[in-house]
Amino acid sequence: MTGRLSVQFAHGLESGPGSSKALYLAERFDAVTPRMPTSDFEECVRIHAARVREAPPDVLVGSSFGGAVVLALLDRGLYRGPVVLLAAAHRHYRVPERIPEGVAAVIVHGTRDDVVDVEGSRALSRTGTPGKVELVIVDDEHRLASLLEGDALERHVRRAFELSL
């Protein structure tokens, strides 16, 4: 692997391509953040599936609503690469709570999240291939703003990629 990692970001409901997470990822990686009409979950899955087919990323990152979109892609077999899931809202969208066998995943959740229950991330981390799925619990709220201080989010993205090797 030479050059910068490519990252595809699935943003949250109150976010978009110009969000702080999207800009952070764009500064550190060859990152793309497709705009999603967050009122239509299935359309968001289609948008990300099309982008994955067009240019498969080294790592797919999903935040909250976007985490549910990423898990739907995994569940449907539309993507099998490494993922970073930030307070994934999969339970809100009835997406199966599982990481497919062989998929590398770093799951990050805040202890003070009052939007998405951390128990969903804990349960999700117990699925998949042992040694390829890691759970990181941080002292933060739902937005996980602390990940943008320094290189925390960057480390999680690189860790997901390393777990996939």
8-30 confidence digits (pLDDT tens): 999 999 888 999 999 999 999 99
pLDDT above 50 for 1: no
Collapsing DSSP to helix, strand or coil, 112 comes out as coil
Distance CA 48, CA 44 (A): 6
Distance CA 80, CA 60 (A): 10
Residue 91 lies in a domain: yes
Residue 151 lies in a domain: yes
Q: What is the mean pLDDT of residues 65-93?
A: 98
Integer angstrom CA distances of residue 42 from 22, 66, 70? 21, 12, 12
How confident is residue 87, by pLDDT bands cut at 50, 70 and 90? very high
Residue 1 lies in a domain: no
pLDDT above 80 for 3: no
Q: Which domain holds residue 124?
A: 6-164
What's the number of domains the chain is made of? 1
What are the tens digits of pLDDT across the range 43-74?
999 999 999 999 999 999 999 999 999 999 99
Residue 122 lies in a domain: yes
Q: What CATH number is given to the structural domain containing 145?
A: 3.40.50.1820
Residue 120 lies in a domain: yes
